[in-house]
Amino acid sequence: MEFTHLLTNIVADDTLHARWLNTLSMMENTGARKISAAEPKTTVDLLMLKHAAEEARHAYYLKKQIQKLTKTDCPTYEPAYLLAPTDSHAYLNRLDVQVCRYLKTALGLSGAELKYAAYLLVTYAIEVRADELYPVYQEVLTEARSKVNVRSIIVEEEGHLAEMLRQMDTFFGDAWQAHAERAVAIETGLYNAWLDSLMALEKIDAAKAN
Ligand SMILES: [Fe+2]
Ligand SMILES: [Fe+2]
């Protein structure tokens, strides 16, 4: 089953849709907290502050969208209110761990340098994913004439991707592309596993309905 089809089925069911929005909100919030955690205490710049603030806004905005759906309630990020809770919670942490491992072995980085380089690569890979995922989601929402919309997120994620490209070029120099490709390959593996969990869950729901 392709992603558009999966999303169409999720959007058609308010309960599933609310949990999807809550899941995205939780992942955005994890991203915001990771950016904040990677900030150097005294030398953090405007760009990094902006990025952390915008990811936190995405978490808030997505959660707020749930109110547009009828009879749904996802008060917290506890498993009962998420889709594929285990994989959704683990996605960012696994990405972080695997990118750090790569940076340690490939570049021998450690300490503050490792922290910053990991922030660049992890965030870059997520921005590439966000730039693919949100437009597809918006298309499905438009098609379904849903009151929910994520257009403002799409605009900000496009800005983030451009900013990450500039920062990676400054930090890694000409080698940035090879590192970026590696980070995207790691992310793709984790994303596909996450998607498999979502699809499996939907099959269970379909089986229940029959
Ligand atoms: Fe975001
Ligand atoms: Fe972003």
CA 55 – ligand 2 centroid, Å: 6
Radius of gyration (C-alpha) of the chain in whole angstroms = 18
Q: Tell me which ligand sits closest to the C-alpha of residue 27.
A: 1
CA 150 – ligand 2 centroid, Å: 13
What's the token pair of residue 176? 């940035």
Question: Beta-carbon neighbour count of residue 90 at 10 Å?
Answer: 15
Looking at residue 2, what is its pLDDT?
87
Q: Could you give the maximum distance between any two Cα atoms of the chain, in Å?
A: 58
Q: Quick check: 21 and 73 in contact, CB under 8 A?
A: no
How many helices (H) and strands (E) in the chain?
A: 7, 0
CA 11 – ligand 2 centroid, Å: 23
Looking at residue 59, what is its pLDDT?
98
CA 127 – ligand 2 centroid, Å: 5
What's the token pair of residue 3? 């992603």
CA 52 – ligand 2 centroid, Å: 8
With CA atoms as reference, report the closest residue to 65 among 151, 152, 147.
147
Q: What is the pLDDT of residues 5-40, one digit of tens each?
A: 999 999 999 999 999 999 999 999 999 999 999 998
pTM comes to: 0.93
Residue by residue, pLDDT tens for the chain (210 residues) are 689 999 999 999 999 999 999 999 999 999 999 999 999 889 999 999 999 999 999 999 999 999 999 878 899 999 999 999 999 999 999 999 999 999 999 999 999 999 999 999 999 999 999 999 999 999 999 999 999 999 999 999 999 999 999 999 999 999 999 999 999 999 999 999 999 999 887 665 665 555
